[in-house]
């Protein structure tokens, strides 16, 4: 806790954030190392099982666990031979994209809004499966004088944000839109970039910030520290379903392995469906795969949120045009990407549609 707190305290408050092209730079670097986004696997016509090496870009925490480990949980139902070592847990998207573009893995999770930035400079990247349409995050104020999203534009209010292109940064902007504000997180006058939910929680608990996005199950910790009357939830991510996380691959691998890609996506959606309906299965999955040992209170709180929020662990949709295109529009309007990409530029629709068909026929 001390090291996290010190890291948060060491960051300097900024009145202006510059956009960073880390993802696109990584993609260019990766392409310099490989002439094609290859794969160790290919669709097999002999009826034998196949496997997929993939990564996720954050720890296996309760809100993201079902889709992250879905291929391990239900892959066998679709003829996939998935073991725990098929999954690599990473801490950032650039590292995952580097592995993907060098052919060392076949798929990776990615924050969709950040993926758009990477896709702008690398036309081999495609999204082919939804992971989450939203998650159990909330924008919370621990300053009793800050009770609305509009209050964040007071220069004295210290707001914790993600780097431009981060999903929490996008949800911050969605919160402003929901409040009727024609602004984005880029317009905030007093911000500090803290990328991780736990680090933001530590900064808030330490009194180093007034507002930040945290997991909903961590709000009671803030209420215990500051008093329930002084803590205000300004916006819940579940109020604005979108495309939060998705699985990404290379166009080459998807073209070469359409059946495997569809089976992989179907396993994600099927696991989401089963776990959303079964708390005991969720607890079993947590016990087997989760990072750390979440308490029963956290497990049940997350499951209850997902159970009443279908887009949190999607099982029958999530990459339709009416969901994806508003995110593209936001990316252009906010300056995250320079030119508008089309739906077909970024979505490999056929594996996704085939996955939905597999689920119907299951």
Give the DSSP letter of residue 110: E
- Same structural domain, 116 and 252: yes
In this prediction, residue 250 carries a pLDDT of: 96
Residue 52, domain member (yes or no) = yes
C-alpha 344, offset from chain centre: 21
Residue 264, domain member (yes or no) = yes
pTM here is 0.84
Residue finishing a domain among 239, 270, 286 = 239
pLDDT higher than 60, residue 25? no
- Same structural domain, 254 and 194: no
> Which residue(s) pair with 137 in the sheet?
215
Q: What is the pLDDT of residues 75-132, one digit of tens each?
A: 999 999 999 999 999 988 888 999 999 999 999 999 999 899 999 989 999 999 999 9
- Same structural domain, 222 and 152: yes
Q: What is the pLDDT of residues 229-244, one digit of tens each?
A: 999 999 999 988 899 9
Give the DSSP letter of residue 89: E
Residue 28, domain member (yes or no) = no
Q: What is the pLDDT of residues 120-155, one digit of tens each?
A: 989 999 999 999 999 999 999 999 999 999 999 999
Query: What does 280-331 look like in DSSP terms, one character per residue?
Result: HHHHHHHHHH-SS---HHHHHHHHHHHHT-TTTS-SS-S--HHHHHHHHHHH
- Same structural domain, 233 and 250: no
Residue finishing a domain among 191, 224, 239 = 239
DSSP H or E run through 56: strand 54-56
Q: From residue 1, give the alpha-carbon distance in Å to each of 126, 202, 214, 249.
A: 38, 7, 16, 36
Residue 31, domain member (yes or no) = no
- Same structural domain, 187 and 268: no
Residue 285, domain member (yes or no) = yes
- Same structural domain, 198 and 55: no
Residue 27, domain member (yes or no) = no
Give the DSSP letter of residue 246: E
- Same structural domain, 249 and 130: yes
CA 9/CA 3 separation, integer angstroms: 10
In this prediction, residue 49 carries a pLDDT of: 61
Phi, psi of 211 (to 5 degrees): -140, 140
Strands 54-56 and 107-111: what pairing? parallel
Residue 335, domain member (yes or no) = yes
How far is the first Cα of the chain from the last one, in angstroms, to the nearest whole number? 46
User: At how many degrees (to 10) do helices 349-360 and 258-277 cross?
Assistant: 50
- Same structural domain, 205 and 301: no
Question: In CATH, what number is assigned to the domain containing residue 178?
Answer: 3.40.190.10
Residues 312/135, Cβ–Cβ less than 8 Å: yes
> Which residue(s) pair with 347 in the sheet?
127
Environment class of 349 (CB within 10 Å of its CB; exposed 0-12, middle 13-18, buried 19+): middle
Please name the residue ranges forming H helices in 161-236. Answer: 167-178, 197-205, 219-226
Comparing 74 with 23, which gets the higher pLDDT? 74
Domain that holds residue 218: 2-15+136-239
- Same structural domain, 84 and 105: yes
Residue 333, domain member (yes or no) = yes
For 51, other C-beta atoms within 10 Å of its C-beta total 18
Q: What is the pLDDT of residues 266-318, one digit of tens each?
A: 999 999 999 999 999 999 999 999 999 999 999 999 999 999 999 999 999 99
pLDDT band at 46 (very low <50, low <70, confident <90, very high): very low
- Same structural domain, 214 and 348: no
- Same structural domain, 71 and 7: no
Q: From residue 34, give the alpha-carbon distance in Å to each of 92, 257, 321.
A: 21, 19, 32
Environment class of 153 (CB within 10 Å of its CB; exposed 0-12, middle 13-18, buried 19+): middle
- Same structural domain, 252 and 352: yes
How many separate domains does the chain show? 2
Residue finishing a domain among 239, 256, 286 = 239
């Amino acid at each position: 806790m001390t090291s996290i707190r010190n890291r948060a305290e060491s960051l300097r408050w900024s009145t202006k954030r510059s956009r960073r092209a880390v993802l696109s730079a990584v993609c260019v670097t990766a392409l310099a190392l490989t002439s094609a986004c290859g794969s160790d696997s290919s669709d097999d016509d002999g009826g034998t099982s196949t496997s997929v090496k993939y990564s996720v870009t954050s720890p296996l925490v309760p809100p993201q666990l079902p889709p992250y480990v879905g291929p391990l949980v239900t892959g066998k139902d679709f003829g996939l031979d998935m073991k725990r070592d098929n999954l690599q847990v990473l801490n950032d998207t650039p590292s995952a994209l580097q592995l993907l573009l060098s052919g060392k893995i076949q798929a990776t999770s990615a924050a969709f809004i950040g993926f758009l930035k990477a896709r702008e400079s690398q036309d081999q990247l495609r999204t082919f499966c939804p992971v989450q349409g939203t998650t159990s995050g909330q924008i919370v104020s621990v300053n009793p004088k800050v009770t609305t999203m509009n209050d964040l534009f007071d220069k004295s209010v210290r707001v914790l944000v993600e780097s431009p292109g981060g999903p929490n940064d996008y949800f911050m902007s969605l919160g402003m839109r929901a409040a009727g504000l024609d602004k984005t997180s880029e317009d905030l006058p007093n911000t500090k970039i803290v990328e991780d939910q736990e680090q933001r929680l530590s900064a808030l608990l330490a009194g180093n910030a007034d507002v930040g996005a945290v997991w909903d199950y961590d709000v009671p910790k803030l209420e215990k520290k500051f008093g329930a009357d002084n803590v205000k939830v300004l916006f819940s991510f579940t109020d604005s379903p979108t495309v939060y996380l998705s699985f990404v691959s290379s166009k080459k691998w998807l073209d070469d392995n359409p059946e495997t890609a569809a089976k992989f996506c179907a396993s994600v959606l099927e696991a989401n469906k089963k776990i959303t309906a079964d708390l005991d299965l969720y607890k079993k999955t947590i016990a087997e795969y989760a990072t750390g040992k979440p308490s029963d209170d956290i497990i049940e709180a997350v499951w209850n949120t997902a159970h009443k929020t279908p887009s949190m662990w999607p099982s029958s949709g999530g990459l339709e045009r009416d969901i994806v295109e508003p995110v593209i529009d936001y990316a252009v309007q906010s300056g995250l990407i320079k030119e508008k990409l089309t739906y077909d530029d970024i979505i490999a629709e056929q594996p996704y549609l085939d996955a939905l068909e597999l689920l119907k026929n299951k």
